[in-house]
Amino acid sequence: MAGTADAAKNALSSIFDKAKDVVGTAAEATKGYASQAQQAIGKVIPGMSVDHSAQDPSVVQPAETAAPAPPPPQQ
């Protein structure tokens, strides 16, 4: 019985490690695609960058304001 439990534990551990590798690879690929998209946007619209990490941290960005909510209905 102990051998079966160890085999199951090893199998699950192996599956978990492989899943971590796959997710890590997918994350790296996604970063690459995002970088390519940012470069393409910069070529189409000069000066337009969506790369927030490249912005100067000392520059305060204006806060986005939403339209005020409508008043509640009168009863």
pLDDT for 4-24, tens place per residue?
989 999 999 999 999 999 999
How far CA 3 is from CA of 7, 8, 10, 39, in Å, comes to 6, 9, 10, 54
In this prediction the pTM is 0.46
CA distance 70 to 75: 15
pLDDT at 73 exceeding the cut of 70: yes
pLDDT for 38-69, tens place per residue?
888 888 887 766 555 555 445 455 555 566 67
In this prediction, residue 44 carries a pLDDT of 87
Helix or strand (DSSP H, E) at 42: helix 2-44
